[in-house]
Structure 1
Amino acid sequence: MSIKDQAQTGFAKAADYDAHRPSFPPGSVEVLLDAVRLSGNDGAIVIDLAAGTGKFTEILAKRPEGFKIIAVEPHDDMRAVLEKKALPNVKVVKGLSTDIPMPDESADAVVAAQAFHWFANIESLKEINRVLQPHGAYGMIWNIEDYNAPRAHKAATSWEATMQDFIWSLDDNSPRYRHEKWRQVFDQQLESSPLSILTSSQPLFALPLGAHEERWEVLLPKDRIWDRLNTLSQISVLEGKERQNAENLFKNAIDAPETEVNEKGEVVIHGGTFSHWTTKIPQ
């Protein structure tokens, strides 16, 4: 399975992505690592799938357990940024969610940070199941700002609501966390068909998914907020007049009188970190 065109183009500025995308809250990280049985599991073999520039890989590499980490990333520019970090106990490899370059039942856990929505399909679940040890675990985690949240989520401020509406107006056929369709693949594994009956197929992963949410706020200067918005692939691909219109919309929204600005010229971004996990069902 090739990389989605939107992801390939939208993440071409990998260094900017790495500089302006946030890391993950320690509390959410601890919950996820506990859930996938990595906390205290010294020397565990972990696959960081679609590792990108290594935002979550860095967290894993700093852990006291001394994990053996295989960071799998298909995007050449992002993988290059990750490789330059030369993180300890990390092997960076090119691979896809449907073609993970690891032996059968070789990993204690697979994690996907800010990524699973791109490859939420049965073929990927089969491959993740293949590389996990019996009863190994799969964890997913996302940082989601209010302006990039599902449509039903009410943004905390008017400028964030304006940007949320704008980002939804750019919607295309590319999968996003905010669509909430990534969950469907776990339900689809339970759907029966003549072929699954003939092959005695059974679910790949246990349900229901474990879940944890942590709300947060962060203060940033207005220009840094625009930089952060530009790490979203649907904004980063804008060019010419479309890009200028987007920046003008942002500036008008964030400069509105109702926007609260502190003495340092910083504005609050509201968001949440969403973690989900499950365990392999041996086939």
Structure 2
Amino acid sequence: MTDHVHHATAGYKTSAETYVRGRPDYPPAVADWLAGTLGLNADKSVVDLGAGTGKFTGRLLATGAQVIAVEPVAQMLEKLSQAYPEVLAVNGTATDLPLPDACVDVVVCAQAFHWFANARALTEIARVLKPGGKLGLVWNLRDTKVSWVPKLDAIVNALEGDTPRYYTGAWRRAFPHPAFGPLQVQHFNHGHTGSPEDVIFNRVRSTSFIAALPQAQRANVDEQIRALIASEPQLRGREVVTVPYETAAYAVVKAS
């Protein structure tokens, strides 16, 4: 690989299991988006780019399409291969895809495009897409309309440093790109329900730059979250909670 991988991704090397437990699934409506907007079916092939531990891989497999997972962090790729042994899982990056020209119908980046949102990556993605192929960009975002969510986000955001993230909007500067048409977006709402340990604590712990912190700082983040939970009637004393999410799904077509 020739691509530079952001230093914050080092946190994923030690937090793959936490990532599996803490990250939310995607809403059922995504299935219609994959089939209708991206056109995935049993006759198509798709690259799961920045596939991580495979949180989105199952959604792609459910379309019947042939799935190729590409991920640069070996520890995460191992988790994906254990969960989905039928998927071709390969080490690679967005600017160095180990694939031939014009070989796939769709590339999907779920919770990943902000890491490599640049012209080089889009040029490389366009290279492996067939003419008229599609690129899908998907993000799960905590819904800040619920009063306690911005308080949780503030704990996390204070530590982000120079880590690329969706909510800053910096990823949009990669567009327009000469190989692609305009972005089209759809939004879906859902919730991540479970124990506070998983859906709040492990979700935060799985954040790249949090996972990369020294142990003492990670413990301090846990303490801030405990204080937040204790102060919020919707969270305090509950064994099961729901974190509200909005999913943003973007699609863009490669020029023929």
Gapped runs of 5+ residues in structure 2?
Answer: none
Q: Give the aligned partner of residue 146 of structure 2.
A: 156
Q: Give the aligned partner of residue 193 of structure 1.
A: none
Note the C-alpha offset of 1:11. Answer: 4.5
Amino acid at match of 2:179: L
Instruction: Write out per-residue CA displacement over residues 136-166 of structure 1, whole angstroms, 9 at most, x where no aligned residue.
Output: 10101111124xxxxxxx44123x2222112
Note the C-alpha offset of 1:220. Answer: 2.6
Q: CA separation in 2, counterparts of 1:179 and 1:170?
A: 14
Q: What is the aligned-residue RMSD (CA, Å)?
A: 1.9
Gapped runs of 5+ residues in structure 1?
Answer: 147-153, 190-202
Q: Give the aligned partner of residue 179 of structure 1.
A: 168
Q: CA separation in 2, counterparts of 1:9 and 1:33?
A: 33
Note the C-alpha offset of 1:68. Answer: 1.4
Amino acid at match of 2:47: I
Residue correspondence of structure 1 range 104-123 to structure 2 within 5 A: 104-123=101-120
Identity of aligned pairs, percent? 32
Instruction: Write out per-residue CA displacement over residues 81-136 of structure 1, whole angstroms, 9 at most, x where no aligned residue.
Output: 11122433x21111110111111111011111110000000000001111111111
Amino acid at match of 2:112: A
Report if aligned partners of 1:16, 1:231 keep a CA contact under 8 Å in 2: yes
Instruction: Write out per-residue CA displacement over residues 217-261 of structure 1, whole angstroms, 9 at most, x where no aligned residue.
Output: 3333222221121111122222233222211111111111x4224
Q: CA separation in 2, counterparts of 1:265 and 1:52?
A: 28
Q: CA separation in 1, counterparts of 2:239 and 2:202?
A: 16
Q: CA separation in 2, counterparts of 1:215 and 1:86?
A: 26
Residue correspondence of structure 1 range 27-176 to structure 2 within 5 A: 27-38=29-40, 41-63=41-63, 65=64, 67-88=65-86, 90-146=87-143, 154-158=144-148, 160-176=149-165
Q: CA separation in 2, counterparts of 1:140 and 1:177?
A: 11
User: TM (normalized to structure 1)?
Assistant: 0.83
Note the C-alpha offset of 1:182. Answer: 0.7
User: TM (normalized to structure 2)?
Assistant: 0.92
Amino acid at match of 1:267: V
Instruction: Write out per-residue CA displacement over residues 27-83 of structure 1, whole angstroms, 9 at most, x where no aligned residue.
Output: 023214321111xx32311111111111111222233x3x21111111111111111
- Asked which structure has the greater CA Rg, the reply is 1
